[in-house]
Amino acid sequence: MRWKRTIQLLDVHAEGEIGRVAIGGVPKIPGDTIAAQLHWLNTDPKGDELRRFLCLEPRGAPIGSVNLLLPARHPDADAAFVILQPDQAHASSGSNSICVTTALLESGIVEMQEPETIVTLETAAGLVKATATCRDGRCEKVKLTMVPSFVHELDVGVDTPHWGRIKADICYGGIFYALVDVGQIGLTIEKANAAGLVQAGMILKELINRDIKVVHPEIPAISGVAYVMFRDTEADGTVRTCTTMWPGRADRSPCGTGNSANLATLYARGKAKVGDTFTSKSIIGSEFEVGLQAVTEVAGRPAVIPTITGRGFTFGLTQVALDPFDPHPNGFALTDVWGPSAGEI
C-alpha cells in the first residue's frame, strides 16, 4: 500500500459513548504543554487537517471522539491525551478518560496490576487520576478523580425565540457547560426525544456563546461554552442528563465533565456535601456514579473535586489511512447526516 499516513485506533466506548484511542502513528504535536498542544490543534491549519482527517467522512463519523495519545509532560503522568471531535479539539472528558484508561491497560501500553491499577492522565485541563479495577486481564471499571470544577455563574437568563426566557448555569467541569433544566424546553430526557434535544442544544449553545464570554482563569486555551447539557432529577435522586454535541447529537454516556460541572452547582446551592454520591443516568439508560471527594478553590473561586465511575469496553481495532491520490484528504460532511451547519465546513 502506498499510504501517505496511517494511524492505528483502538475502538472503545464508555457506557455507550465512543472514544477511539489513537495508539500508533500519531504525528508530533507542537507545544510545550498539553494546553499549548490543544491550542495548536485548534488554531493551526495542520492541526485542523489532522482533526478533519480522523473525525470527518470518509474515515470518521458524527458520533464519538478520537483521543490522541501524547507523551506526558508532567512528571507524575503515565500518559497524556487530547480529544478530537468534529467541531474542534477539546481539553477534557470523563467518558474519554475512561476509554483511554481502558485502552492503555488492555493494550499493555501501561502494565495492568490486579486487582487495581492507578493511571495518571495528563489533559489540557490538568491531571486526572484513574483508579481501574482489574481482573483476569480486563479493566472492569474506572474511577476518575477529576480536575477542580466550579461555577462561573448561576441562573443566567437567556432570551430565546422558541422557549422565551430560560435560565442556565454556566459552569466548568474540565470544559465549560451551560446546564439547563430540561423542563424549560418542554421535553424529557429519553431516546425518543434525542433529535429535539440536540436541536435545542445547538440553538442554545449559539445564543449563549454569542452573549456570554467565558475563559478559564488559569488556562486561557480553555474558553467558550463547549456543550449544553440538559438535566432532570428523578424521584430517587438519580440525575438524568443529555449533553448535546456538534453537529447535533446526544452524548450516549451520562457525561463525566458535564456531571462534574453540575456537581459544582449542587455544592454552590447547598444540595451536595463532601462524601455524597449519586447516580447519573444517560439518555440510553447507562450510568455513572458521581461523588464529591473534596472542596478547593480555583483562582479564588469555590470549587469541588468530583469523582466519576463508569465502565469502558473495547470493540475493535482500526487502522485509518490516507491514499496519496484520495481527493478528500481533509474529509467532508453533508447536511443529510451531519445537520444544517455542516454546510459551513
d(CA 57, CA 299): 41
Phi-psi region of 68 (alpha: psi -120 to 50; beta: other; left: phi over 0): beta
d(CA 102, CA 314): 8
Residues near 249 by Cβ (< 8 Å), separated by ≥ 6?
62, 63, 194, 198
* Helix and strand numbers, DSSP H then E, in the chain: 6, 18
* Residue 85 marked as a ligand binder: yes
107 catalytic per annotation: no
Catalytic residue among 93, 97, 149, 282: 93
d(CA 107, CA 139): 11
* Residue 293 marked as a ligand binder: no
Catalytic residue among 65, 255, 280, 282: 255
d(CA 340, CA 151): 32
Q: Crossing angle, helix 34-43 and helix 45-55, to 10 degrees?
A: 80
* Residue 64 marked as a ligand binder: no
| Residue 261 near residue 212 (C-beta atoms within 8 A) | no
d(CA 63, CA 246): 9
99 catalytic per annotation: no
* Residue 94 marked as a ligand binder: yes
* Residue 88 marked as a ligand binder: no
* Residue 341 marked as a ligand binder: no
**Is cis: bond before 161, omega within 30 of 0?**
no
Binding site residue list for substrate:
85, 94-95, 251, 256-257
Query: Catalytic residues, which ones?
Result: 93, 255
Binding site residue list:
85, 94-95, 251, 256-257
